[in-house]
Structure 1
Amino acid sequence: MRKGERLFQLLNILRSRRGVVTSQEIAEQLRVSQRTVYRDIQALSLSNVPIESEAGVGYRLRPGFNLPPLMFEEDELEALMLGVKMVQGWSDVQLGDAANRAFDKIKAILPDPLHTRHHQQNGWLIVPDFHRSHVSRFSDDLRAAIKGKRQIEITYQSLEDKQSRRELWPLGLVFWGRVWTLVAWCQLRQDYRVFRIDRIQQLSQQEVKFQTSKTLSLPHYIAMQESKDEGYADSTAQCKSSGSKD
């Protein structure tokens, strides 16, 4: 756990108690040593957090202390809400639920007037998710393979209904507004290839791991597309229409 996150959790422990809390209790909750707790208490005190201590008893926050809430302008809140709804409507269930939980945390600290206004008006902003299960198919497995740098094998059906099996190094996911695409290094072609997720019929992760480099990565692929004479827009249109450059 990073120090900043640990300090935030320590502060929450102190805020949640009406009385004192011992260093041992804090250490057990944070799964650190008491010595670390002492250092963290000192760091918070030096940051002007009013922590009171009673020798041999424990610590507590001075009564009346509250962290200032994060303040959002109304249009900032609407921008965040739009982002959440886009994730919910156009990505998989796992990411959609995570976006919703994150926004719940934001709403929990809003001042009452802004919270009430948002609750009364949030129905006007809608991102339909009619095709969510279709366009985000296999995205959970693909994200896991990309993060773990694991080779995958897919059965792919082109728009011409031709099926092929490919062993790929998955590099990244790109959303074009209607479809998600996978940018990958194709072992068969020994080159970059782009596949529409909704055209993948089967997918399996393999034990083989790969490494990216300056000349084999998603940024490198994007840079190559941008440098082509026909321009990046032509590449985008090709990805949408064919899903693969074969």
Structure 2
Amino acid sequence: NYCHCHNNGLQHSQSTNGTLATLARPDSIYLYPKRVSEEYALQLSASLSPVSPSEYLFSRRESDPAPVMISYNHGEAKAYAIMLHEELERLGVRTYLDLYEIKNGQDWQDSLNFAILDCRLFVPLITPSYGETLWTSRELKLADVLAKRIVPINFGQRWPPPSLAIQFATVQYVDWLYQAPPVGQPNVRPTHPAPAYRLGCDWPRDSARSIATQIRRLLIHAEAFSWSSASPTTAT
């Protein structure tokens, strides 16, 4: 279960088909996994293996596949992709970002294909042209076909975006702009309609840090669920 924060309280929603469930109300501000999810995941893993999911995920070698992949439009979200990558790596979450992973002389199409194939969480940054450019469209379609868990980060776009309605009609997004308001201000929607990536807001780093924390929790939960599903059961 996940907890949806609204202006007037909390509402719970069940995840479906490996994606985050659609919000019940349009005034929802943001979503985060309940703290108990991480605690439960860690407790569950203790009975399955001497190595916990968090130890397994966050002690991997640099050469191991990254469990998180960030997908974005370079012309619109490069700075935010770098910022989110930095915050995820700071939390110990190995994250694929093409700027750092594709080396000179390497086939970048193969690099992207393997990154999507190997990742646990696919994180697209939804700006106006995401899904309309050739490669963002291909990346998202491949992640969808491979049944990857998709956690879209919305930068002020109408939801679902018209060009991505099929993929995102039932997927809950995380809102970059409303993650971390300035100190002393309530977490409410501002009146200006401009997309978040054009606002030049004062708290992008706090937003990146908050989203990175959510992604880390989702990753631990997904890893623990995978371990529990793979563990043998004893008939009674």
Q: Same fold (TM over 0.5)?
A: no
More strand by share: 1
Larger Rg: 1
What's the TM-score, normalizing by structure 1? 0.21
For CA contacts below 8 A with separation 6 or more, give which structure has more relative contact order: 2
More helix by share: 1
What's the TM-score, normalizing by structure 2? 0.21
